[in-house]
């Protein structure tokens, strides 16, 4: 009897009728976040270093093709102009891949129930999956940045750290939320690949990574200003070059509004169990 009393008084056990989980299930949230990080970290050659190598190949090809002859953009050598955009492009693409793949694989393999059954709220699920996407985006960005520091003829020195952090974070959250929504909607891997090939890739490549908007005319320039990827890349590049191709304040508010809408939609769909619960 005394032993039972000691166990009940232990800090690991709450008295009867007192909930152990508070407003936020921090323990469960941390476990799911750790699972998401370990999932991509175990295959870091594929998830971190392979994107870094691919990005460096982009840099080499475009530098050789367009960077010769003293070609400059926004007053900077072409290689310095394109490098920050390639870094954040790799970050956001991998943020999307992280969340879309984990949700879709869970649905296909039937293991999504292991995420839905524990006492995790819709907000905690959203935060854990987005946290994993942000962590992978940061890991890829650091890998690419460190590799570019060693690349001859390229200068990637951070001038405005707040812009690098803010726009990098906004891009990772936006694509991470889009990845969650894609994973929920998709019923097979072809569906997710269609979003990647026909939405993510075109918006990334047509976002001013390799050119400035003054090179475009009429409707194409207006379309670029409606592309949220443009503001991600332009703001992130401002953190390195100190100059921007578009309005920074408008871009910051525009991205914040889009992310609020995407996170709210993700929360609502997790709460309803849309296409996740049989």
Q: Which residues pair with 77 in a beta bridge?
A: 72
Lowest mean pLDDT among 7-11, 159-163, 241-245: 7-11
End-to-end CA separation in angstroms for the chain: 45
pTM over 0.75: yes
Report the residue count for the chain.
Answer: 278
User: Is residue 199 predicted with pLDDT exceeding 80?
Assistant: yes
Give the model's confidence band at 14: pLDDT under 50 very low, under 70 low, under 90 confident, else very high.
low
- Is the Cα dihedral 227, 233, 239, 244 positive or negative? negative
Are the CB atoms for 4 and 10 separated by under 8 Å? Answer: no
CA distance 143 to 148: 9
90-114 confidence digits (pLDDT tens): 999 999 999 999 999 999 999 999 9
Torsion of CA 37, 39, 44, 47, to 10 degrees: -90
Nearest to 45 by CA among 125, 139, 116, 169: 139
Instruction: Express each pLDDT in 211-266 by its tens digit.
Output: 888 777 767 777 777 899 999 999 999 999 999 988 999 999 999 999 999 999 99
Distance CA 109, CA 189 (A): 12
- The answer, yes or no, to whether residue 1 has pLDDT greater than 50, is no
Q: Give domain limits for the chain.
A: 26-272
pLDDT in tens, 17-55: 566 777 889 999 999 999 999 999 999 999 999 999 999
């Amino acid at each position: 009897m005394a032993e039972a009393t000691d166990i009940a008084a232990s800090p690991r056990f709450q008295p009867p009728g007192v909930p152990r989980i508070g407003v936020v299930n921090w323990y469960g949230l941390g476990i799911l976040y750790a699972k998401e990080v370990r999932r991509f970290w175990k295959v870091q050659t594929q998830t971190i270093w392979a994107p870094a190598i691919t990005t460096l190949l982009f840099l080499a090809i475009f530098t050789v093709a367009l960077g010769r002859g003293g070609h400059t953009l926004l007053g900077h050598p072409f290689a310095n102009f394109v490098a920050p955009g390639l870094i954040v492009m790799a970050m956001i693409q991998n943020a999307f891949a992280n969340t879309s793949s984990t949700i879709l694989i869970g649905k296909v393999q039937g293991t999504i129930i292991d995420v839905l059954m524990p006492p995790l709220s819709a907000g905690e699920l959203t935060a854990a999956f987005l946290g994993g996407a942000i962590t992978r985006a940061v890991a890829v960005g650091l890998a690419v940045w460190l590799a570019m520091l060693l690349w001859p003829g390229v200068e990637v020195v951070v001038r405005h750290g707040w812009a690098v952090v803010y726009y990098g974070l906004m891009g990772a959250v936006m694509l991470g939320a889009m990845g969650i929504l894609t994973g929920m909607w998709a019923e097979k891997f072809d569906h997710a690949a269609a979003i990647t090939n026909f939405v993510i890739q075109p918006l990334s490549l047509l976002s001013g990574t390799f050119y400035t908007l003054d090179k475009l005319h009429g409707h194409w320039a207006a379309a670029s200003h409606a592309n949220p990827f443009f503001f991600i890349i332009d703001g992130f590049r401002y953190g390195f070059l100190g100059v921007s191709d578009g309005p920074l304040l408008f871009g910051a508010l525009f991205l914040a509004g889009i992310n609020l809408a995407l996170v709210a939609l993700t929360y609502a769909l997790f709460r309803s169990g849309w296409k996740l619960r049989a």
